[in-house]
A and B are shown apart, each in its own frame.
Chain A
Amino acid sequence: MTLYEPEELVLSARAGTPLSEIEKMLAERGQELAFEPMDFGPLLGGAAGRGTIGGTLAANLSGPRRIRAGAARDHILGIHAVSGRGEAFKSGGRVVKNVTGYDLSKVMAGSWGTLAVATDVTFKVLPAAETETTLVLPGLYDDAAVAAMALAMGSSAEVSGAAHLPEMVAAQVGEGALAGGAATLLRIEGFGPSVDYRVKHLREAFGGDARFDEISGDRSKALWRAVRDCLPFADGSQKPVWRMSMAPSEAHKAIMALRMAAAVEVFYDWAGGLAWLRMEGEPEAELLRGLIKKFGGGHATLVRASVADRAAIPVFEPQPPALAALSVRLKEQFDPQNILNPGRMG
């Protein structure tokens, strides 16, 4: 870490700094990376806590709080990088409000190392919430859960996490806290008195007689870490896992159609807009992508699969011709000899 000024809400680090080190340092000052970057380690059969801050940017990581606070792209303030041409350049700065020149920091977010190698990154940091409580609505089917999450997101309770775990998935998280059926989770974070008030407000929004369980403190944190890191599918297998982003109201419709043709385990984050899918057989890329188009668009990334499947299937969502051509032209402007992570993107 090269700079950390808590009162200025800013942190700079060399790209290879471990994320865990950064998060520890921030926690000591009651701050955090508000976009809640996920840890792919366990899902991919590795250890947890091995990511770097540069990788966080390259993969544009985020977590359940994506729906309120954004992803890495929304918190990156500036970068130093070396392009595929071997030329060092910088973009952005260390302040939040900055429109000086094109935002090349954002281009680096989610570029998976194909454009340039980041050497230094500067992120906005924010105060961590004082406390959190999760409301659990038991026993909802996917469509009712999506409607409940939309109601919660449309209330003034400032919900900072909205996930739905169908029965099979719910049984595997929270050390049995959710056993006995599907669980729809609504997280409320903030100052103590405010959290109490908003929990009450949310209960009222659902009508006084709705059944809720409440999970607070460290148990709530553990639950959301499981959702964030896709732990229900961290099973040590190579079964294909898709990460699919669609309009929150549409994703479950595509999945209902998919279930007619394929065996799949699913759970939802982002109020229904993010679906994690574990295929019990083939990846079914064409089928899934056809359904995404049919239900209003979005994208699916094959984040886990056998080597053979990953070689045979485009892991990123294919783009329409004009957009694909534009992406290729952008790649050429950063890395004309195609030496950076060749074969991926652009």
Chain B
Amino acid sequence: MPTPDAATLRRRAEIIADMRQIVPGEGVVDAVNEMRAFESDGLTAYRQLPLVVVLPETTRQVSKILKYCDERDIRVVPRGSGTSLSGGALPLEDAVLLVMSRFNEILEIDYMNRVVVAQPGVTNLGITRAVEDDGFYYAPDPSSQIACSIGGNVAENSGGVHCLKYGLTANNVLGIEMVLMNGEVVRLGGKHLDSEGYDLLGVMTGSEGLLGVVTEVTVRILKKPETARALLIGFPTSEQGGQCVADIIGAGIIPGGMEMMDRPAIHAAEDFVHAGYPLECEALLIVELDGPGVEVDHLIGLVEAIALRNDSTTCRISTSDQERLSFWAGRKAAFPAVGRISPDYYCMDGTIPRKELPKVLAGMRSLSEQYGLRVANVFHAGDGNLHPLILYDANKPGELEKAEGFGADILRLCVKVGGVLTGEHGVGVEKRDLMPEMFSEADLDQQMRVKCAFDPNHLLNPGKVFPQLRRCAELGRMHIHAGKMPFPDIPRF
């Protein structure tokens, strides 16, 4: 992480007093025991107390805080609900931790335009809850949806099990209000579609809190599908499971959800929730189809035939919503189930072209032997997003480092077969140093130049995403050929 700025640390008392001027009442937290609650996010291996925690309530306060910090070279780390799995909200010793949880109101529900306007601290599920009595819902459903905030979803471009059919956050957010590091407030998009200028909303989505602080979000809501039914299909090999997925999509079917688990994950889940999973298979596929009943019934028949052609050993079809949910129970409990069979686990998040699954699983098996650590896999099969869970024991010296090494090798493998480092958890601190595996220096420089347009002093969430920070002036360097400056008579400073 960047070296803490000694001058800022020395001025801590003064900064806290100034923050209290901007956010009166209980919105400034500086006692060590109270700041403990904020010392890490979902990536709990990393912990750090911030300089001070500030919980603003209005856009005006956010603007004042950022302007104050920008003028005094003070770093700021924004935080939503703190559920990041990549350390995106990890505090810095010399940074103000800007917690957006008091922005927790739904501002408008507009059925005529099918949008909800919410403050960023509203939870993902909170949006669906606000409209479900009228038959609507918000489509992206990250597994942390009960806790994660919609502002955090924008920062991470969160997905979920339904995103092959319904898209990611980027495809479901229509507008935001945001505050730049210099305190300026800008609105991007709104209830209308597309941008009048550059697609800055597209850049902001998934920018991991490095470009601006979101203070309002407009999302589109959809009518809930009439019905949903699921198939639970077992295969003797992961190749056959993978081929079944390819054949379903090749037949023109885009399921609402399509999830695969490997043998260790199946066994862990079954031992935990007794979902009735078949234990003899190597790959278990859950295919959920949603829409009008007549369409779902039609597609269930097609998928069943495809499964049989791929030598499925078991194929159960849900006949009630209760049975459908029981198919999901094991998958949804996969993480805690793995938590039961190992003191600690480390969740990875690569994406691969689907057809490479057998190769990547085989590679993981040999890495597992090499590192002497077990691994269980759950896989968003429709979109190629893989979540290997590496089992380790943090109390054994050196084992966390071993798990991290194993994880990094898995991600390198994903990149090698044409995939990417992170599908939905973000780069954060965790995968920062792996960025050069996927991007050249020129690629990363161009990304950092985008950062310079928003936050030229690198004060917002520094130390995340980029393996090395370069001053913006340095990035703007001129190429000098054979010692000749372009336009030599123009004065330069």
Contact = CB atoms under 8 A, between A and B. Distances in A.
- A and B associate in one complex: yes
Contact of A191 (B114, B298, B440): B298
Interface stretch (B29-37, B89-97, B163-171): B163-171
A98 B292 contact: no
B259 to A, nearest CB: 13
A9 B249 contact: yes
B282 interface: no
B196 A156 contact: no
Contact of A248 (B112, B354, B447): B112
A310 B180 CA distance: 33
B236 interface: no
Interface in B239-289: 246-247, 249-250, 252-254
B427 interface: yes
Interface string B197-219: 11110110111000000000000
Interface in A61-78: 62, 66-67, 70-71, 73-74
Given A71-B193, A94-B418, A156-B224, A99 B424 contact: yes
A280 to B, nearest CB: 25
A299 B199 contact: no
Given A97-B163, A97-B351, A249-B112, A6 B198 contact: no
B68 interface: no
B193 A127 contact: no
B352 interface: yes
Contacts of A70: 167, 171
Contacts of B190: 247, 296-298
A104 interface: yes
Given A93-B418, A101-B427, A329-B453, A197 B186 contact: no
Interface of A: 5-10, 30-31, 60, 62, 66-67, 70-71, 73-74, 83, 85, 87-91, 93-104, 106-107, 109-111, 115, 126-128, 130, 150, 153-156, 158, 190-191, 193-194, 196-198, 201, 245-250, 270, 273-274, 296-299, 301, 316-317, 319-320, 322-324, 326-327, 329-334, 336, 345-346
A127 B249 CA distance: 8
B353 A102 contact: no
27 contacts: A7-B355, A60-B194, A74-B170, A74-B171, A89-B445, A95-B351, A95-B420, A97-B159, A97-B163, A97-B168, A99-B206, A99-B425, A104-B447, A104-B450, A110-B199, A130-B252, A194-B292, A196-B294, A197-B293, A248-B112, A248-B113, A297-B190, A301-B196, A317-B196, A333-B446, A333-B450, A333-B452
A153 B443 contact: no
A273 B354 CA distance: 37
Interface of B: 110-114, 135-136, 156-157, 159, 163-164, 167-168, 170-171, 180, 184-188, 190-200, 202-203, 205-207, 223-226, 246-247, 249-250, 252-254, 291-295, 298-299, 351-355, 380, 383-385, 418-427, 431, 435, 438-440, 442-447, 449-454, 465, 476, 479
A96 B386 CA distance: 12
A336 B424 CA distance: 33
Contact of B291 (A158, A245, A330): A158
A323 B476 CA distance: 22
Nearest to B155: A99
Given A154-B111, A330-B450, A99 B427 contact: yes
